[in-house]
Amino acid sequence: MSNAATGEGIGQPVRRKEDFRFITGNGHYTDDIARPRQTWAYFLRSPHAHAKIRKIDTRAAEAAPGVVAIFTGKHVADDGLGGLICGWTVSSKDGTPMKVGPHPILALDTVRYVGDHVAMVVAETLAEARSAAEMIDVDYETLPAAVALAACQSKEAPQVHPEAPRNTCFEWELGNKPETEAAFAKADKIVKLDLTNNRLIPNAMEPRAAIGEYDKGSGVYTLHTTSQNPHVARLVLSAFVGVAPEHKLRVIAPDVGGGFGSKIFIYAEETACVWAAAKVGRPIKWTADRSEAFLSDAHGRDHLSHAELALDKNGKFLALRVKTVANLGAYLSTFSASVPTYLYGTLLSGQYDIPAIYVEVDGVYTHTAPVDAYRGAGRPEATYLVERIVETAARETGIDPAEIRRRNFIRSFPHQTPVIMAYDAGDYEASLDAAMKAVDHKGFPARKAEAEKRGKLRGLGFSSYIEACGIAPSAAVGSLGAGVGLWESAEVRVNPTGNVEVLTGSHSHGQGHETTFAQLVASRLGIPMEQVEIVHGDTDKVQFGMGTYGSRSGAVGMSAIVKALDKIETKAKKIAAHLMEAAVEDIVFENGTFTVQGTDKSLPWAQLALSAYTAHGFPSAEIEPGLKEGAFYDPTNFTFPAGCHICEVEIDPDTGVTRIVNFVAVDDFGTIINPMIVEGQVHGGIAQGIGQALLEHGVYDPASGQLVTGSYMDYCMPRADDLPSFNLGFTKTVCPSNPLGMKGCGEAGAIASPPAIINAITDALGIRDIEMPATPARVWAAIQSRPRAAAAE
């Protein structure tokens, strides 16, 4: 049977296997799971951005109805538990390692942001736990807080950690400073731009949740949790926090309702739940409400940057220099340090041949929630900077924005940038051309004129982006400070009846792995997809894996499956050769059937699978019974998805409302397994990018450190009527760094879209810059303060 014939082959928009359970309400998210005799946890959180804890009195709370136990930082410390860690070490220019303040599970003597964990109350019901928490008497000595990022490195700023003077965790640099300075010295034109990359709050729709359990008989701990990478969680909880030895800890990430980075990290809450489960002898369940999620999920972005681009008289880029201050929040989260450094500075060459680049990044502690990876993680910040300054350069030199990009595109591959990355393949002009065609670039002046007649302002904005996915190979990331290897694992188990279980270390929380991965396996083995089960998210089933983030599951996770399938095929051919009494070299495997070349002998897949397990008459020295193979795959390079997004906006100058009238995205993701799923990933990414550009902003009160945008009343989530339908297209250059030629598609939309939108708005208004999010109020204010000439246009 051919999978192309059944419409299940690679490249087909196969409908998702996982949908049935979700559309009928039969998914199993962590909060849907109830364990026998479970108790509920509620976390008492700091109401202050910065305070000393003089005393915690839990006596009244302990006597409250339903209370099972109350834990504070002292209990955690007395038990010898370690703190939470950052798994990536970054060094400063002077060679010193980053300065890390301790990150306790529950605060010991100091709280460092509003929402910091002070105590955990365990009770029979959530309402009882919450009521008891209100009865805990905490004696705080409130202290001034370091909140406004621009002011936190001054000598006068309140200190977040004594270990990090001037709140500076690291002063990192990348690139070649002398070459960059020399290029600037001979430049004909220097373009300068100050940019803010606004703080975002991830807001996966499923709030974080955890159920910790302990089995006294076996000594095994089990943690159900909303994780994008359960094995990494287990490793951290075992090796660093010391909750339990790795072989006595099972972590299960069941259905997970979106992550976008925020569920990569190992947080205090799940750690406390699984640790305390042994203390109370009963399962402990915790589910964040949305307000807690706002306070305690790791936030994203939050950069202040100054950028300068040097050009020659022909508009050719000579050099780029960048100084960025990146907000890390109060503690380093699991991958915080890597995001504004190796995931950011390495992408500052964009799609352009820039001979010299030098970037400095200061990682700065503030009395706010930790900041870590959020969809795109560093790459949206880099793309925003590059595409905004390129656009500004176009306007200041009078060169058409498309033309200035063309003049500077990288055109031969591989291309070594001055900032580590070696781009392996791409055709940037192809996506620019396709996007300009799709947006009807030629017709824009007429549309602008027509809008003007209606009193509206139209603008067009480009974003030619590149990103790096896969985050690999392990040797490379290790040399850059990663504490882990970034390969992926797979195991293919063929059952005696011929159906197949594929265990993967990737984790699906919306990406559709159960479909895409099955599509790959089914087409390779020539069996229907319904006979393939993708197993993930349970450390007892999958031996080890690195999880899903950084658009890595296709390029790395599926490549591991390919490698395991190669081994399956090798062994299956051996068995087939034995059964059909032929030489292995003569066995052909196609469409689910083994044949002996040049004969009519054949053996269907199911029969071979059964034979592998009956093993009758196998030459046991040559062929082991069974059919199961595993593989670890470590790529040879990052992958480099790229493309061009163009946004057309129409602004109502009376209200400042920006409407996106057309959004075109042309992306090169290399080989695409399931275009329907890929398009869905792009849609979602663009929506989050539009959210960043127009709507979303995590705001702390600069004086008090209170989170002003602590609910959907003030944090503006993109709604259906904020967004247009999107106009997508694809170009293709195959990725040479993995067997399938895939590049990764999960983050492109969020990476590419913000500068396209802001370039369009500044084009419409005839202004140099507007800060994200470009809310109606900000756009209106920008219109009011435009120079008269522009206003009169």
Partner 1 sequence: MPVVAMTVNGKPASADVEARTLLVHFIREHLGLTGTHVGCDTSQCGACVVHVDGRAVKSCAILAVQAEGADIVTVEGLAKNGELHPVQQAFREHHGLQCGFCTPGMIMTAVDLIRRKPNLDEKTVREELEGNICRCTGYHNIVKAILAASQAMR
Partner 2 sequence: MYQFNYARPKSLAEAEALLAKADDPKLLAGGQTLIPTLKQRLAMPSDLIDIGGLKELDFIRAEGNAVMIGAATKHATVAQSPDVKKHNPALAALAEGIGDPAVRHMGTIGGSIANNDPASDYPAACLALDAKIHTTKRLIEADEFFKGMFETALEDGEIVKEITFPHPEKAAYMKFPNPASRYAMVGVFVSKGPWGIRVAVTGAGQDGVFRVKEMEDALAKSWSPDAVASIKIPAKGLNADLHGTAEYRAHLITVMAKRAVAAAG
Nearer to partner 2 among residue 210 and residue 695 (C-beta) = 695
The single residue listed with the structure tokens 């820039």 is 354
688 binds, among partner 2, partner 1, none (CB under 5 to 8 A by kind): partner 1
- Min. distance of Cβ 154 from partner 2 in angstroms? 25
Applying CB under 8 A, the span of 254-262, 388-396, 425-433, 478-486 interacting with partner 1 comes to 254-262
What single string gives the DSSP state of each residue in 309-334? EEE-TTS-EEEEEEEEEEEEESS--T
Site track for partner 1 across 542-581, x = CB under 8 A:
----------------------------------------
Q: Is 744 in the site for partner 1 (CB under 8 A)?
A: no
- Min. distance of Cβ 172 from partner 2 in angstroms? 31
List the beta bridge partners of residue 466.
642
Check: CB of residue 723 under 8 Å from CB of residue 700. no
Nearer to partner 1 among residue 82 and residue 512 (C-beta) = 512
Check: CB of residue 544 under 8 Å from CB of residue 24. no
Rounded to 10 degrees, what is the CA torsion of 590, 591, 596, 597?
-50
684 binds, among partner 2, partner 1, none (CB under 5 to 8 A by kind): partner 1
612 binds, among partner 2, partner 1, none (CB under 5 to 8 A by kind): none
- Min. distance of Cβ 30 from partner 1 in angstroms? 11
Q: How far apart are CA 82 and CA 76, in angstroms?
A: 8
47 binds, among partner 1, partner 2, none (CB under 5 to 8 A by kind): none
Contacts (Cβ under 8 Å, ≥6 apart) of 108: 53, 73, 74, 77
Q: Is 203 in the site for partner 1 (CB under 8 A)?
A: yes
676 binds, among partner 1, partner 2, none (CB under 5 to 8 A by kind): partner 1
Contacts (Cβ under 8 Å, ≥6 apart) of 221: 212, 213, 214, 215, 243, 244, 248, 249, 250, 274, 277, 278
Nearer to partner 2 among residue 150 and residue 717 (C-beta) = 717
Q: How far apart are CA 90 and CA 336, in angstroms?
A: 10
**SS3 of residue 572 by DSSP:** helix
Nearer to partner 2 among residue 20 and residue 712 (C-beta) = 712
Applying CB under 8 A, the span of 476-484, 561-569, 720-728, 767-775 interacting with partner 1 comes to 720-728
Q: If we measure between CA atoms, which residue out of 63, 59, 46, 40 comes closest to residue 129? A: 40
- Min. distance of Cβ 686 from partner 2 in angstroms? 18
Contacts (Cβ under 8 Å, ≥6 apart) of 508: 18, 256, 514, 534, 536, 537, 548, 553
Report residue 635 as tokens. Answer: 């790529």
List the beta bridge partners of residue 251.
223
695 binds, among partner 2, partner 1, none (CB under 5 to 8 A by kind): partner 2
Contacts (Cβ under 8 Å, ≥6 apart) of 449: none
Q: How far apart are CA 462 and CA 521, in angstroms?
A: 38
- Min. distance of Cβ 678 from partner 1 in angstroms? 10
Q: How far apart are CA 409 and CA 70, in angstroms?
A: 60
Q: Which one of 9, 144, 254, 258 is in contact with partner 1 (CB under 8 A)? A: 258
- Min. distance of Cβ 570 from partner 1 in angstroms? 36
Nearer to partner 1 among residue 184 and residue 286 (C-beta) = 286
Nearer to partner 1 among residue 296 and residue 511 (C-beta) = 511
Nearer to partner 2 among residue 195 and residue 695 (C-beta) = 695
Q: Is 206 in the site for partner 1 (CB under 8 A)?
A: yes
Q: Is 650 in the site for partner 1 (CB under 8 A)?
A: no
Nearer to partner 2 among residue 543 and residue 711 (C-beta) = 711
381 binds, among partner 1, partner 2, none (CB under 5 to 8 A by kind): none
The single residue listed with the structure tokens 């539009």 is 690
**H, E, C per residue of 329-376:** ECCCCCCHHHCCCCCCHHHCCCCECCCEEEEEEEEEECCCCCECCCCC
Q: Which one of 114, 278, 364, 686 is in contact with partner 1 (CB under 8 A)? A: 686
Nearer to partner 2 among residue 512 and residue 656 (C-beta) = 656
257 binds, among partner 1, partner 2, none (CB under 5 to 8 A by kind): partner 1
Q: Is 510 in the site for partner 1 (CB under 8 A)?
A: yes
Q: Which one of 289, 312, 403, 590 is in contact with partner 1 (CB under 8 A)? A: 289
Q: Which one of 481, 512, 537, 545 is in contact with partner 1 (CB under 8 A)? A: 512
697 binds, among partner 1, partner 2, none (CB under 5 to 8 A by kind): partner 2
Check: CB of residue 658 under 8 Å from CB of residue 776. yes
Judged by CB under 8 A, the number of residues near partner 1 is 57
Q: Is 721 in the site for partner 1 (CB under 8 A)?
A: yes
- Min. distance of Cβ 375 from partner 1 in angstroms? 10
Instruction: Give the DSSP H/E element, type plus range, for residue 293.
Output: helix 290-296
Report residue 765 as tokens. Answer: 């208004």
Check: CB of residue 555 under 8 Å from CB of residue 743. yes
Q: Is 713 in the site for partner 1 (CB under 8 A)?
A: yes
**Phi, psi at 245, each rounded to 5°:** -60, 155
Applying CB under 8 A, the span of 15-23, 604-612, 763-771, 784-792 interacting with partner 1 comes to 15-23
Q: How far apart are CA 397 and CA 553, in angstroms?
A: 42
Q: Is 28 in the site for partner 1 (CB under 8 A)?
A: yes
Q: If we measure between CA atoms, which residue out of 774, 783, 768, 767 comes closest to residue 692? A: 774
Q: Give the interface with partner 2 as residue ranges (CB under 8 A).
A: 127, 130-131, 291, 654-656, 695, 697, 699, 708-709, 712-717, 719, 722, 775-777, 780-781
Q: If we measure between CA atoms, which residue out of 572, 558, 449 comes closest to residue 505? A: 558
CA 535 to centroid of chain Cα atoms: 21
Q: How buried is 91 (Cβ within 10 angstroms: 0-12 exposed, 13-18 middle, 19+ buried)? A: middle
Q: Is 509 in the site for partner 1 (CB under 8 A)?
A: yes
Applying CB under 8 A, the span of 83-91, 311-319, 644-652, 673-681 interacting with partner 1 comes to 673-681
Binding site for partner 1 (CB under 8 A): 15-16, 18-29, 31-32, 34, 127, 203-207, 255-258, 260, 289-291, 509-512, 676-677, 679-680, 683-688, 711-713, 717-721, 723, 725-726, 749
